[in-house]
Chain A
Amino acid sequence: MLKLNNVEVKYVGVILVLRGVSLEVRDGAIVALLGSNGAGKTTTLKAISGLLHTELGEVTAGSIEYDGSRIDGMDPEQIAKRGIIQVMEGRQVLGHLNVEENLLLGGYIVKNSDIKKDLDMVYDYFPKLKSLRHSTSGYLSGGEQQMLVMGRAMMAHPKIMLLDEPSLGLAPLIVDEIFDIVTRFNAEEKTSVLIVEQNARAALSITEYSYVMENGRVVLDGPSSKLADNEDIKEFYLGLSKLGEKKSYRQVKHYKRRKRWL
């Protein structure tokens, strides 16, 4: 089980980006972390995976525990070796390497692995990748790249997969496909998934529990089905007004006063 207790993160020792975030990912669960841009979702993931260090950020208070031992302050490599693998936002493929080389590097940390079997597993989830195995990954389409980065993470046999904005900029059909695979992977490999999304609709549909972040703090949490009914969620994340219709940009109001949470 992954557990964040009141985690506070500062960048460059000054800028407070997370102010007391607590959340939990139980073994085998799929959990969503929602929120608007700049709410601190990605920072939360990076705090877990340890990638924060590379950006001069650090956990200044609170603790991150995984299976009972603290992992905050560890190097990202150590954390990854414990089975927490982050799939970063923006489909970060190793562009000049081909698909298979990308996947091989994904399995780099697994000792004595049966590389062929692992590759076959990934190709089973993403049959398309198999046909593209010798293509240079930088030239793949957005959807294919998203599959590649997820497949690359699968190669490491993660216990927890941290997925950052997998749906960003993808066509709805591909988003559905990817979310299906996440659900299947979770069910078959018993991998827990913590998924960060702005596409709240998709995320709420496949997760059992969700957290909503704002200004570096969790402001709302609960079972996903219940959150989907929450007025604020509807308004700000599902883009629905009270009549259930989609809000267009033109209707955005130039009000000075901000939304409030109660």
Chain B
Amino acid sequence: MEFFGKIVAAGLMNGAVYGLVAIGFVLIYKSSSVLNFSQGYMLLLGGYIFWSFRGGLRLDLFLSLLLTLPCAFLMGILIERITLRPLIGQPLLSMITVTIFLSLVLEGVASLFWGTYPLEQITIFPKGALKLGKTVLTTESLFAFGLAIVVMMVLIFFFRYTRLGLSMRGVAEGHEIMQSMGISVKRILTICWGIAGVAATLGGILLGGTLGFQLGLSHIGLLAIPAAFIGGLESPEGAVLGGLLIGLIESIVSGYVGKAAGVPASYIVLIVVMLFRPYGFFGLERIERV
């Protein structure tokens, strides 16, 4: 039981991070129907950028964050500008394919500048422990959890109640309609990618803090995809819950079956969900069966 409690707690901690990354995935899917397979690699690169400021240049934590986040936003924007923008008007297949190729390039960039070996471990949050009954939680993961939840809340509020958020939801419904109303779809798509970049990078920083900065992070980043799908591809709230669920599953399966089983298990869940509830738990019922 003690073991189970620990696993659940760890799962929720990680799950929050997956949820955060999944929001970025959902945002891109919602606004342009693109399944962004490079989300995990954006996480990797974002984490590495942070590492360079914090671990490489040894800057102050907040200064590093302050520098990393604009970089992350810029990374998202650049990706959109360079690869997605020229493909406007092309079939969806091309757009999705380009994110697949993008993952090659991003991984390549990461290994080109940071090498293929794991980087020096750095901690972000003060070390400590909190006892909850018999379960011990590290402050580190608590901080991560808290931060992830706060950021998610901010994003969800943003979609609901701001003009920009409303237009992002509008863009999800149809580009031409938005353009006919004089709203620049391109600008909004760019912002979406920027936010996705930031979300992924925050995830990278948080995961890197606990797992270390290494190429394998991209694989963990791929967990955002089942998280987003299970939550419902179009719902930020769903992404959060999907993330927590995937976190739990991963954690439990890793604990009881074997460490390597976490990611495959998440994908098995994804396939099962696809079979029985193709629009996830919070998605809009738009995914049609043939």
Q: Do chains A and B touch in the complex (CB under 8 A)?
A: yes
Q: Which residues of A contact B (CB under 8 A)?
A: 49-51, 54-56, 75-77, 79-81, 85-88, 92-97, 101, 104-106, 108-109, 152-153, 156
Residues 93-110 of B, flagged 1 when their CB comes within 8 A of A and 0 if not, give 000000000000000000
Q: Cβ of A51: which chain B residues have Cβ within 8 Å of it?
A: 176, 179-180
| Chain B interface, number of residues (Cβ within 8 angstroms) | 21
Q: Cβ of B255: which chain A residues have Cβ within 8 Å of it?
A: none
Asked if B173 and A96 sit within 8 Å, CB to CB, the answer is: yes
Inter-chain residue pair count (beta carbon < 8 A): 76
Asked if B167 and A105 sit within 8 Å, CB to CB, the answer is: yes
What 10 additional pairs, Cβ within 8 angstroms, besides A85-B181, A156-B181?
A76-B182, A80-B179, A86-B180, A88-B177, A94-B169, A96-B173, A97-B173, A101-B169, A105-B170, A109-B181
Q: Which residues of B contact A (CB under 8 A)?
A: 88-89, 163, 166-167, 169-170, 172-184, 284
Asked if B176 and A80 sit within 8 Å, CB to CB, the answer is: no
A87 and B89 CA atoms in complex are apart in Å by 21
Asked if B182 and A109 sit within 8 Å, CB to CB, the answer is: yes
Asked if A94 and B89 sit within 8 Å, CB to CB, the answer is: no
B114: shortest Cβ distance to chain A, in Å?
39
Q: Cβ of A96: which chain B residues have Cβ within 8 Å of it?
A: 169, 172-173, 284
B128: shortest Cβ distance to chain A, in Å?
44
Asked if B178 and A75 sit within 8 Å, CB to CB, the answer is: no
Q: Cβ of A92: which chain B residues have Cβ within 8 Å of it?
A: 174, 176-177, 180
Q: Cβ of B174: which chain A residues have Cβ within 8 Å of it?
A: 92, 94
Q: Cβ of B175: which chain A residues have Cβ within 8 Å of it?
A: 54
Q: Cβ of B166: which chain A residues have Cβ within 8 Å of it?
A: 97, 101, 104-105
Most A-side CB within 10 Å, residue of B172, B175, B184: B184
A28 and B184 CA atoms in complex are apart in Å by 28
Asked if A95 and B173 sit within 8 Å, CB to CB, the answer is: yes
* Chain B residue at minimum C-beta to C-beta distance from A104: B166
Asked if A94 and B179 sit within 8 Å, CB to CB, the answer is: no
Asked if B179 and A56 sit within 8 Å, CB to CB, the answer is: no
